[in-house]
Amino acid sequence: MPNAIVVAVDGLRAAALGAYGNAWHPTPSLDELASRSLLMDWMWCPGPDVLSFYDRCWRHLDCAGHAESLAAVDASRSSHGLHDCQQRPSLAATLGEAAVETTCLTDAPEIAELAERAGFAEIYGLDAPAAKPASSWGDTELARLFSAAVDRLQPWSRTRGDGDRSPPRLLWLHARGFHGAWDAPVELRQRLHEEGDPPAATFLHPPAALRTDDQDEALPYRAAYAAQTMVLDECLGGLLAAIDELALADHTLVMLVGCRGFALGEHGGVGSGVRDLYSELLHIPCVMWAPGILPSPQRSPLLVGAEAVAAALLRWFAVDGAFGEEGPSLFEGGAAPPCREGSPWLLACGDGGERAMRTPAWMLRQPPRAADVGAASVPAPMAELYVKPDDRWEANEVADRCPDIVARLLALLDEGILVDSGGAVRVAELDADLTTPIR
């Protein structure tokens, strides 16, 4: 029977992986997985909160206790015409009804609580010990979590000989990742410093929100982030080796996805609390190995959101569900080729009315509303526009040169891109010049 393992890492930005263009630090295990998988070039998270990722991915979440965190997300989505999914069953509940055994393993207490409300049959929460520098990657917080994941795979191997009598299983591994301890060995950070640079920093937690345009000041944090990525690479390599050793590889889907990215100074901010809607936060990796479905490595330029993860799992387990109605799955079931119809747009909602919209040709960012100052209101900041996919890091703002494009994209945001009509979702039509990249 088919199994699936999803590795969801909070704070993992697409640019951290070699498969997405990183050449600063090695990620051999991640790159090897990508070399035989379907890689989605452009997956976006829906906002700066990890709960917004799961709101789109797991669906129908009773988020009591997280109301404050999700209030802004819900308000933004409803005010922008986004469809209300509260009446739909969750991913775990849908799979459970189809006799798929669902397990969530995490080191984030809020995700363990959320998984229970989402209907996972088994939830294992790991308490995070006090952070301390690791002497080797195997002593890190991430390694401890991945070791627990390998332990959860042991029963899968023991029932391998039962043939069709063994139940299909899903293991969802959520790591606090880059929002947890930065406990990689300091020598990994030091490797990324050049001669003449100051010694590698030894802090154990990232800053909340360091505002700086000084690239030298950002360097210690970028090196520390890269060191954590190298630890993640080692951990993933160990998990993939265990899958092979337990004879699970020929019938187990493996997916790596980021829940949201992480700002490292690209737009004047470094830290876990930097919530500006730019690609360093919104662009997340998605790599999927599906044996027997995807016969060769493929790279897709399509735009996809977090709901595509759930749709892919339902297809893998041959379960009917509503998750694919608003966007594409990562592949079609059976032996069909990967889905060729991506979303014509992606939307992210942030704090204070901040919004970002991505089409194949453009990215529009509407900064947060200005706060009132005394009796007078500060003028609203101007919308920003970037050419995609060429301007990968939003380095060249072109709103003043393309006012018509800005006005039309803002109108779509204001009118609501998704329209709920009697339970059906209609996607607003986008003109060709809004979706066709400039050549």
For 379-391, how does the pLDDT look when each residue is reduced to its tens digit (9 = 90+)? 668 999 999 999 9
Which residue(s) pair with 289 in the sheet? 254
Name the residue with tokens 């730019």. 278
The predicted model scores a pTM of 0.89
Q: Span 303-322, mean pLDDT?
A: 89
Give the end-to-end CA distance of the chain in Å, rounded to a whole number.
46
Residue 330's pLDDT is 72
The Cα–Cα gap between 259 and 237 comes to 20
Pairwise pLDDT comparison (412 vs 151), residue with the higher score: 151
Does 89 fall in a domain? Answer: yes
Q: What are phi and psi of 276, to 5 degrees?
A: -65, 135
Report residue 322's pLDDT band, with 50, 70 and 90 as the boundaries.
low
Q: Are 170 and 310 members of one domain?
A: yes
- The whole-number pLDDT of residue 157 equals 87
User: Which residues span the domain enclosing 215?
Assistant: 3-325
User: Residue 67 has what pLDDT?
Assistant: 40
pLDDT band at 369 (very low <50, low <70, confident <90, very high): confident
Final residue of a structural domain among 325, 356, 383 = 325
CATH number of the domain within which 422 lies: 3.30.1120.10
| 335 pLDDT above the threshold of 70 | no
Q: Is 135 exposed, middle or buried (0-12, 13-18, 19+ CB in 10 A)?
A: exposed
The average pLDDT across 54-81 equals 53
Pairs from 164-169 (Cβ < 8 Å, separation ≥ 24): 164/1, 166/1, 167/1, 167/99, 167/100, 167/101, 168/1, 168/2, 168/3, 168/4, 168/99, 168/100, 168/101, 168/317, 169/1, 169/3, 169/4, 169/100, 169/101, 169/102, 169/103
Going through 177-297 in order, the beta strands assigned E by DSSP cover 210-211, 252-260, 263-264, 269-271, 283-289
Taking the CA atoms of residue 177, residue 182, residue 187 and residue 191 in that order, the dihedral angle to the nearest 10 degrees is 60
Q: Same structural domain for residues 320 and 350?
A: no
Which range, 71-80, 321-330, 412-421, has the best average confidence (pLDDT)? 412-421
* Pick from 153-167, 273-287, 330-344, 363-377: least confident: 330-344
Split into its structural domains, the chain has a count of 2
Express as a percent the part of the chain with pLDDT over 90. 68
Looking at the structure, tell me whether residues 264 and 357 fall in a common domain.
no
Asked if residue 207 lies in contact with residue 224, where contact means CB atoms within 8 angstroms, the answer is no
In a domain, 333, yes or no: no
Residues 89 and 180 in one domain: yes
User: Which of 147-156, 160-169, 325-334 is the least confident region?
Assistant: 325-334
Residues 6+ apart with CB under 8 A from 33: 236, 240, 254, 256, 287, 289
